A and B are shown apart, each in its own frame.
Chain A
Amino acid sequence: ILNVEQSPQSLHVQEGDSTNFTCSFPSSNFYALHWYRWETAKSPEALFVMTLNGDEKKKGRISATLNTKEGYSYLYIKGSQPEDSATYLCASNTGGFKTIFGAGTRLFVKA
């Protein structure tokens, strides 16, 4: 994988559903994987920075896992709420100074 890829592109869930999405990134020269949450008309907000293979991070109902050997990360949201509606971006930093973003997963949570 040369680019950062996210799936699905968009997701519609009901309030209370749990959901997850995937970020695939180049596994060579891996340095860090970032997850951001981007609400409409606001700045992207950092959720997690993950560096170690097998790392798991949690913030409230949101958690993320990291597999650097195979180059993927999962973001999980437990019991989705309408305020979770946003675009979730992942970004990979590999060795150098540039950060490569995926196109994002757009989450819509219906009340």
Chain B
Amino acid sequence: DAGVTQSPTHLIKTRGQQVTLRCSPKSGHDTVSWYQQALGQGPQFIFQYYEEEERQRGNFPDRFSGHQFPNYSSELNVNALLLGDSALYLCASSLGTREEQYFGPGTRLTVT
């Protein structure tokens, strides 16, 4: 049973560029949440997708957008990258919008 997978593992981008991160949920899960974890902090909630819709959003600007596909996989897009966007981006899946979450290994994004 495949767990949550994320790609790529690491990514280096330049300020102003755009990036797309990908997440495949655990088999049987229908909900995907995205988190940003900066050094020394806990994961910060970005948004959650269920039934291909954004259900809830944290305090992140519109530069952060996402999508969920019919197979429940999800993408996180960040436009106009800033140095402060450098972080570990975690994807978590669950069965239902408020149930126990299973995390992927994360994508480490570095913006130079």
Contacts and interface: CB of A to CB of B under 8 A. Distances in A.
Interface of A: 4, 6, 31-32, 34, 36, 42-46, 49, 89, 91, 93, 96-104
Given A42-B105, A44-B90, A97 B42 contact: no
Given A46-B101, A97-B56, A103 B41 contact: yes
B62 interface: no
A44 to B, nearest CB: 5
Contacts of B4: 43
B100 A49 contact: yes
B103 interface: yes
Contacts of B64: none
Interface centre among A34, A36, A99, A102 (most CB of B within 10 A): A99
The bracket for how many chain B residues form the interface is 20 to 34
Contacts of A43: 3-4, 90, 102-106
Contacts, number: 58
B19 to A, nearest CB: 21
B48 A98 contact: yes
Contacts of B44: 101
A6 B40 CA distance: 13
Given A46-B101, A103-B40, 14 more contacts: A4-B42, A6-B42, A42-B105, A43-B103, A43-B106, A44-B103, A45-B103, A49-B100, A91-B42, A93-B98, A97-B56, A97-B98, A98-B33, A103-B41
Q: Which 7 A-B pairs have the closest CB atoms?
A: A101-B42, A97-B56, A43-B103, A103-B42, A44-B103, A98-B56, A97-B97
Contacts of A100: 45
Contact of A97 (B3, B35, B55): B55
